[in-house]
Structure 1
Amino acid sequence: MLDANLKTQLQAYLEKAVRPIHITAFLDDSDASAELQSLLRDLKEVSDRISVTEQRGGERTPSFSLTSPGHDIHLTFAGLPMGHEFTSLVLALLQVGGHPSKLAQDVIEQIRSLDGQYRFETYFSLSCQNCPDVVQALNLMAVLNPNIQHVAIDGALFQQEVEQREVMSVPTIFLNGEVFGAGRMGVEEIVAKLDMNAGKREAEKIKAKAPYDVLVIGGGPAGAAAAIYAARKGIRTGVAAERFGGQVLDTMAIENFISVPYTEGPKLAAALEQHVKDYQVDVMNLQRAEKLVPAGADGLVEVRLANGASLKSKTVILSTGARWRQMNVPGENEYRNKGVAYCPHCDGPLFKGKRVAVIGGGNSGVEAAIDLAGIVAQVTLIEFDGKLRADEVLQRKLHSLPNVRVVTSAQTTEVLGDGSKVTGLVYKDRAGGDTHRVELEGIFVQIGLLPNTEWLKGVVELSPRGEIVIDDRGQTSVPGVFAAGDATTVPYKQIVIAMGEGSKAALSAFDHLIRSSAPVETADAVAA
């Protein structure tokens, strides 16, 4: 199952385990069970701390649970955790084997103190780059707290179960049989939903923070670069981000990041966050900014957060990024995660053998249609313009696929459903005016990005498209407030460009500080 190189790497990792790891496998006569047997044999071969017991049947087959003798751990994988989930398996083995997590100690204690009984079930797909964060978070929580159980389920392998529970996007999390959440979630976000007082405690901590020299709002590539460049100047720097990594977390393959031939979004996002934390940067995750107040008599810009707290700083860098643009038609919001999806890599496997539509004929839309064509029964690509806008090489590939239909000059006007899931859509022929109904089970929206700037309206100058207007130094219309990345008027929304713009904004903010009358306060001085 595992090649020699992977076995060698795995053997080195598992040497970090300090206690026995026992695996109980639940098998049947399927090919998937045979593959799981092969995987477990390889695991046992590379570590003498691993023992395996096999049983016939079980709640789900094939599946396997992990525990350690003398420890009350309830952690199960249903299916084969390969692809993006192989890392989740390795981490689970290490943590069950007693290797300590890098999670902050206060969060570990918060998990251990959770009362009640929590049975989590997470549906994932092996091609989903968002799923491992959820799987790894809940696996760790199951290791830390015996009241927490977690089963990670491969939705493509247990498709009948997925249909019965109407799971139409991954990751989807059930808690004690009810939907708990959908989409990427980290440990801190999950714990915050379980611990009702966590938000209030975090707000009180934020209220007590001293003003910053540079406060970065947003934790994507632009925000990370801005924070690093500011911190390297030795000034007090903070980052408030709704989710560190931003859109990069939703990016599958990155092949144009100069000097790195290939990487994946979550891996790059983790590297960005670690690089920021290598400096004296105060990172505040899960914080959504709601209002910007320009500097008053005290010379400090204020940023008010959704939890009721506020932060003050001599300069602010806005790097709030962008999100998937919606169609804004009836039924879209009602059936979001119930057939309306925005990530073909994540959710595509759930529509195996079904009919889907892709909305958008640019590179993203055509790439999505090509990927989905290998999984689903039929793809209908709908483009508003009179022709596709994707690169010619992608168009040639698309037109070569027998199960793809392309409709141009078409405007989607409604998403149809039966109350629980998508059943079709309606589009209007922009040339003739006729309306057409397409029967299908899934709709993947790929029509570009929308800047996350609604909270800045009336304070900072925005373009007609909602982008923050900046000059060649990253300065906005508000003194002391700079901006960078996909939320701004800078053309070409690319990771490498966002990083450069974030670095420039930080240098401009520092220049603003040294030219202002207020002295720059270093991080070392605050610590003293």
Structure 2
Amino acid sequence: MLDSNLKTALKGYLERLVQPIEIVTFADDGENSRQMLELVADIASVAPAGRLSVRSGSTAGERLPSFQITLAGLDTGVRFAGLPMGHEFTSLILALLQTSGYPAKVEADLIEQIKALEPAQELVFETYMSLTCHNCPDVVQAINLMAALNPKIRHTTIEGSMFQAEVESRQIMGVPCVFLNGEMFASGRMELGEILAKIDTGAADREAKKLSAKEAFDVLVVGGGPAGAAAAIYAARKGIRTGVAAERFGGQVLDTLGIENFISVKETEGPKLAAALEQHVKEYDVDIMNLQRATALVPAAAPGGLIEVKLENGASLRSKSVIISTGARWRSMNVPGEAEYRTKGVAYCPHCDGPLFKGKRVAVIGGGNSGVEAAIDLAGIVAHVTLIEFDSKLRADAVLQTKLRSLPNVTILMSAQTTEVHGDGQKVNGLSYKDRVSGELRRVDLEGIFVQIGLLPNSDWLKGTVELSPRGEVIVDSHGQTSVPGVFAAGDVTTVPYKQIIIAMGEGAKASLGAFDHLIRSSVAG
């Protein structure tokens, strides 16, 4: 199951096991069980003597194949159903280490919050994931840690493609998908703090009071993507008080799989780059306030005064200058049925959710690079892909178009306008589109729709405060200055053309230098 290189790396990690642990397996005679048992045997073969043992458990009432991780014979509540390989192999390693008592690299206050939880009943989490989902490990690892630290929390990670009957019966059409005590809890990428906030009802109020009590910043960056990270680093290097308020550090980069045009880095993945950005920012004296959504900007009452940023949890942050870098989000089709069937067949991440549609019929909306790449990837998994493009021609690179047209299970519809998403009340079963040449309305029967039609700036919270373009982008000058004194902006939320990671970073640095220049001039004027 594991090659020699992976075994060597795994051996190094397992040297960190603190207390002896045991893996209890639940298997039948099937091929999937054989592979799981082989994986467990490989793990045990490289573990230090006396630190990891394996035994078979009773299969009655258990998912097959699956295994649990126990400490000194006690079920810690951490289980895996299926094969935690691919993106989830790291989740498995961390679960082994953390169950043994190895300390997690998580803020101390979050650790204490987990340990202090005293729910009225046991919290039983189930997370459905796919091995190609780059967002799933964050959710899996967060809840595994909670289970390892608090005896009243249990968690099973389930490989959706291996338990297709459960996926069908629970109408799961997007991952990660989390159930709590048998009821839907959340769908999509979440961080540890977000999960805790949903189950610890007093956390939001405590956090709001803590944030509002902070001293005013010299530079407050709103947004934690590439532009925000660059802005924070440039500001901190000037030795001024710098803060970052981000809804999720890393921004949309977290939803990007392959990155091959970041100069000097031949190729990487979005989550890896996002982690590197955060680590770089943490090298400096920057106050990072993660999981914070901005809802309003209040300009300074007088020249040289403080600018206020209001947050969704009721807190307010104050600063002498502000850099807006809230990025953009996936554009929706805005047709009937789309919102109703989001995560029930309407999806936006083919890498994450594609495996859930194995052998089914899907559509990809959009003929740019992202749309054509999605169609190519999905064609290797699903039964058939229908690519729907509004324009009379595809806009993707020629090499991608050539590849797409060579695939036997792909149909390309151009001059086609999607008009409605259809479903049976539980999940998608088709869509309608208008032939823009003939005007005829037509229907395509399918089970999944992947929307890939570009981005919308995250600027709704700024309407009526800073000047926006007709497309909702923040208008900036050559220094990143907005229409409001002391307020700068950078990255995909602005009018700067070509929404690229490397451009966003440069614009973030420029806006930060502009903000520093503003502070200097304001202090001289004062």
- CA distance, structure 2, for counterparts of residue 339 and residue 272 of structure 1: 33
Q: Which deviates more, 264-273 or 81-90?
A: 264-273
The residue number in structure 2 matching 1:42 is 42
The residue number in structure 2 matching 1:374 is 380
Alignment of 1:58-97 (within 5 A): 58=60, 59-69=62-72, 71-97=74-100
- CA distance, structure 2, for counterparts of residue 164 and residue 344 of structure 1: 22
Deviation at residue 26 of structure 1 after TM alignment: 0.8
- CA distance, structure 1, for counterparts of residue 310 and residue 169 of structure 2: 43
Deviation at residue 278 of structure 1 after TM alignment: 1.7
Deviation at residue 6 of structure 1 after TM alignment: 1.3
The residue number in structure 2 matching 1:52 is 54
Q: Does 1:135 align with 2:140?
A: yes
Deviation at residue 519 of structure 1 after TM alignment: 9.8
The residue number in structure 2 matching 1:111 is 114
Equivalent residue for 1:480, pick from 483, 486, 497: 486
The residue number in structure 2 matching 1:337 is 343
Query: 8 Å contact 1:513–1:519 — kept in the other structure?
Result: no
The residue number in structure 2 matching 1:98 is 101
- CA distance, structure 2, for counterparts of residue 147 and residue 378 of structure 1: 45
The residue number in structure 1 matching 2:439 is 433
Query: 8 Å contact 1:133–1:184 — kept in the other structure?
Result: yes
The residue number in structure 2 matching 1:418 is 424
Query: 8 Å contact 1:169–1:337 — kept in the other structure?
Result: yes
- CA distance, structure 2, for counterparts of residue 44 and residue 70 of structure 1: 16
Deviation at residue 511 of structure 1 after TM alignment: 1.1
Letter in 2 for 1:285: N
Deviation at residue 54 of structure 1 after TM alignment: 2.2
Deviation at residue 287 of structure 1 after TM alignment: 0.7
- CA distance, structure 2, for counterparts of residue 87 and residue 261 of structure 1: 23
The residue number in structure 1 matching 2:197 is 192
What's the secondary structure of 1:73's corresponding residue? strand
Query: 8 Å contact 2:306–2:319 — kept in the other structure?
Result: yes
- CA distance, structure 2, for counterparts of residue 55 and residue 303 of structure 1: 55
Deviation at residue 518 of structure 1 after TM alignment: 6.6
- CA distance, structure 1, for counterparts of residue 420 and residue 124 of structure 2: 37
Letter in 2 for 1:449: L
Give the percent of matched residue pairs that are identical in Structure 1 and Structure 2: 71
- CA distance, structure 2, for counterparts of residue 518 and residue 43 of structure 1: 64
Structure 1 moving runs of 4+ over 4 Å: none
Q: TM-score, normalised by structure 1?
A: 0.97
Deviation at residue 343 of structure 1 after TM alignment: 0.3
Letter in 2 for 1:292: L
Letter in 2 for 1:325: R
What's the secondary structure of 2:161's corresponding residue? coil
The residue number in structure 1 matching 2:5 is 5
Query: 8 Å contact 2:69–2:75 — kept in the other structure?
Result: no
Query: 8 Å contact 1:72–1:146 — kept in the other structure?
Result: no
Query: 8 Å contact 1:28–1:56 — kept in the other structure?
Result: no
- CA distance, structure 2, for counterparts of residue 375 and residue 10 of structure 1: 30
Q: Deviations over 1:453-489 (max 9, x none)?
A: 0111111111111111111111111111111111011
- CA distance, structure 2, for counterparts of residue 244 and residue 30 of structure 1: 42
The residue number in structure 2 matching 1:215 is 220
The residue number in structure 2 matching 1:408 is 414
Q: How many residues align?
A: 520
- CA distance, structure 2, for counterparts of residue 71 and residue 177 of structure 1: 23
Alignment of 1:106-255 (within 5 A): 106-116=109-119, 117-255=122-260
What's the secondary structure of 1:35's corresponding residue? helix
Query: 8 Å contact 2:330–2:453 — kept in the other structure?
Result: yes
Q: Deviations over 1:7-57 (max 9, x none)?
A: 111111111111112001111112111111111111111113111112463
Q: Does 1:492 align with 2:502?
A: no
- CA distance, structure 2, for counterparts of residue 348 and residue 33 of structure 1: 24
Letter in 2 for 1:354: K
What's the secondary structure of 1:156's corresponding residue? helix
What's the secondary structure of 2:322's corresponding residue? strand
Q: Does 1:257 align with 2:259?
A: no
- CA distance, structure 1, for counterparts of residue 231 and residue 293 of structure 2: 18
What's the secondary structure of 2:218's corresponding residue? strand
- CA distance, structure 2, for counterparts of residue 228 and residue 91 of structure 1: 30
What's the secondary structure of 2:147's corresponding residue? helix
Query: 8 Å contact 1:237–1:280 — kept in the other structure?
Result: yes
Deviation at residue 517 of structure 1 after TM alignment: 2.2
What's the secondary structure of 2:523's corresponding residue? coil
- CA distance, structure 2, for counterparts of residue 72 and residue 129 of structure 1: 28
Q: Deviations over 1:410-444 (max 9, x none)?
A: 00000001111101000000011000011110000
The residue number in structure 2 matching 1:280 is 285
RMSD across aligned positions (CA) = 1.2
- CA distance, structure 2, for counterparts of residue 517 and residue 136 of structure 1: 47
- CA distance, structure 1, for counterparts of residue 199 and residue 281 of structure 2: 28
The residue number in structure 2 matching 1:389 is 395
- CA distance, structure 1, for counterparts of residue 525 and residue 84 of structure 2: 54
Deviation at residue 72 of structure 1 after TM alignment: 4.9
Query: 8 Å contact 2:98–2:104 — kept in the other structure?
Result: yes
- CA distance, structure 2, for counterparts of residue 355 and residue 413 of structure 1: 18
Query: 8 Å contact 2:224–2:244 — kept in the other structure?
Result: yes
What's the secondary structure of 1:5's corresponding residue? helix
Letter in 2 for 1:352: K
- CA distance, structure 1, for counterparts of residue 70 and residue 498 of structure 2: 49
Q: TM-score, normalised by structure 2?
A: 0.97
The residue number in structure 1 matching 2:315 is 309
What's the secondary structure of 2:362's corresponding residue? strand
Query: 8 Å contact 2:22–2:73 — kept in the other structure?
Result: no
What's the secondary structure of 1:517's corresponding residue? helix
Letter in 1 for 2:360: K
What's the secondary structure of 1:18's corresponding residue? coil
Deviation at residue 2 of structure 1 after TM alignment: 1.1
In the alignment, structure 1 segments of 5+ residues that lack a partner are 521-528
The residue number in structure 1 matching 2:471 is 465
- CA distance, structure 2, for counterparts of residue 240 and residue 282 of structure 1: 8
In the alignment, structure 2 segments of 5+ residues that lack a partner are none
What's the secondary structure of 1:516's corresponding residue? helix
Deviation at residue 70 of structure 1 after TM alignment: 5.8
Letter in 2 for 1:439: D
1:383/1:146 CA distance change after superposition, 3 Å:
same
Deviation at residue 71 of structure 1 after TM alignment: 4.9
Letter in 2 for 1:86: F
Q: Which deviates more, 31-40 or 421-430?
A: 31-40
Letter in 1 for 2:414: T
Query: 8 Å contact 1:121–1:173 — kept in the other structure?
Result: yes
